[in-house]
Amino acid sequence: MSAPFGKNALTFSDVVKQLRTTFEAFCDRRTGKNTNYTMTDAGLSAFSVFFMQSPSFLDFQRTMQETQGKNNAQTLFGVFQIPTDNHIRTLLDAVEPAAVYSLFDFVFDGFQHAGVIDSFRTADNRLLLALDGTGYFSSTNLHGPCCSCKTHSNGKVSYSHTVVTPVLVKPGSDKVIPLAPEFIRPQDGHEKQDCEINASLRWLESRGSWYAALGTTVLGDDLYCHEPFCRALLAKGFEFILVCKPLSHKTLYEWVADLERTGIVKTLVHTRWTGKRHETDSYRYVSAVPLRDADDALSVNWCEITTRTADGKVLYRNAFVTSLTVDDTNVAAVVASGRARWKIENENNNTLKTKGYCFEHNYGHGEQFLSSLLATLIMLAYLLHTLLDLMDEKFCLLRQKLPSRKRLFDDMKALTTYMCFDSWEHLLDFMLEGWSHTPKSRIVRPPKPGIG
C-alpha cells in the first residue's frame, strides 16, 4: 500500500516549517524580563502533545533532554527549549484561534496541488462541505469571557465552549478534510448569546466565497434549513442540501401532500442486494415548493428516501431540501450527498472526542482564548494526520501493518519515550525496519500516559 497522493505531496517537514512561521507571528504580551521561552516554542510544544496523542509527551522529552542531551520535541517539531506546562498555558492564553487558521489554508492548498481536493468531488463535479456545531468544554465553575453561559431551571449556571467545525466530505469515503473552525462565543456589541447559526454565518462571511468558487454544496441538519441561512448560502455562491423535518417545516410538507394528491410528486424505486438481503430504496421528489408560509418565500426542491427490507420493515427515512435540480437521473445521488452530512459527526467530531484526540479534555481553560486555541491545535493535528494518511507512503505502510491508528500512535509514544529520532523520516524508517525483523509479539508496548 502506498500513499495515493504521494506525488507533489506536502511533507511532515513542510508543515512543521509552516507551523514555526505561523507561531513566530504570535503576539507576545509579556512586558517583564522573564522571556526565556519563546512564543514559537510554546506553540510548537502544545501542538506536539496533540500530534503525538500523548498528554505526557513533553514530560518524557524533558527527562530525555536531561539524560541524553537531546529530545524528540526538538528533533521532530523544532522546539528549541521546552517550556513548563504552566508557561505554555500562560503564553498562549492571549493568542486568538484565528492566529492559526492560515495553517488550515496551507494544508488545503497542498491538498489542491496534489489532486486530493478533486478526488473529493462527486459525480456532478461538486465538493460537499458539511457544517455542524459541537461542544468541547463544560463546567459549573471555570469560565471566562469567551464562554457561553446557561442558567438552568434550578438556578444553577453552567459555562461551555462550542465550535462549528466545517469539513469536506464525500459519500463512501472514510476521510474528511477539516477546515478552519468558527467558535461560538459572546460577540462584542451583542446582548444575546451567540449561537451555531450566527457562528456559521460569520464563517460564510469570512471564508465562504473562496470555497464557493470551487463549486461547493453545503450540507447541514434541520437547524440550518431556514430561509435566512439558505439565502445567505446562495448569496455567497453555494448550493445546498439540508435536512428538512416535517415538524419544523409544516407549510412545505402541506405543499408536498397537496402536490402528491395531484400526482406531481415523482417516485423512483430501486431494489439492491446488500450481500445479505434485498433492500428497497424508495425516492420521492418534487420541485419548487416554498420553504415557509409567505408569498415571497424561497422556492426549493424537496426529496425523500425510505429504505425497507423485503418484508416492509423501514430501516431508514430522511428528507432534504436543495437548491439543486432534482430528477430521476440524480435523485439518488442528491440523497447520497445529503446523507454524507453524518460524516461530520462520525468521521470528524466523534473522532476528535473518542479516537485519541481527547477533544473534550480540559488541557487548560485560561482567562482569555487558551481553551479555544488548544481546541484549534487539536483539530490541526487531526488535519495533519489526514495529510499523512493521504500523502506519506511510509506512514501508510505502517497503517497497513498495524491494526489501528491508535496502535500506531501507541507505538510511537513508546519509542519516543526512550529513544531520540533525528527526524520524522528516521522514526518511520525505524518502525518499518522493526516490522521487517521483529515478530509482532515483540513490538514495544507503551507505558500508560500521565494526565496532562
pLDDT, position 34: 66
| Residue 25 to residue 63: CA distance in whole angstroms | 29
* Domain edges within the chain: 1-119+361-452, 238-327
| Residue 438 to residue 452: CA distance in whole angstroms | 32
Share of the chain above pLDDT 90, in %: 84
Residue entry with cell 531520540: 420
Evaluate if residue 346 carries a pLDDT over 90: yes
Mean pLDDT for the stretch of residues 198-202: 97
What confidence tens digit (pLDDT) does each residue in 203-257 have?
A: 999 999 999 999 999 999 999 999 999 999 999 999 999 999 999 999 999 999 9
Mean pLDDT for the stretch of residues 68-89: 96
pLDDT, position 193: 83
Which pairing describes strands 157-164 and 148-151: parallel, antiparallel, or unpaired?
antiparallel
pLDDT, position 191: 65
Evaluate if residue 438 carries a pLDDT over 70: no
Query: Which helix H or strand E contains 72, and what residues bound it?
Result: helix 72-77
What confidence tens digit (pLDDT) does each residue in 256-267 have?
A: 999 999 999 999
pLDDT, position 71: 98
pLDDT, position 4: 73
Q: Of 146 and 278, which is predicted with more confidence?
A: 278
Sorting pLDDT into bands at 50, 70 and 90, what band is 98? very high
Mean pLDDT for the stretch of residues 7-28: 92
SS (H, E, C) 53-122: CCCCHHHHHHHHHHHHCCCHHHHHHCCCCCCCHHHHHHHHCCCCHHHHHHHHHHHHHHHHHHCHHHHCCC
Q: Of 119 and 447, which is predicted with more confidence?
A: 119
pLDDT, position 2: 58
Q: Which letter does DSSP use for residue 54 in this model?
A: -
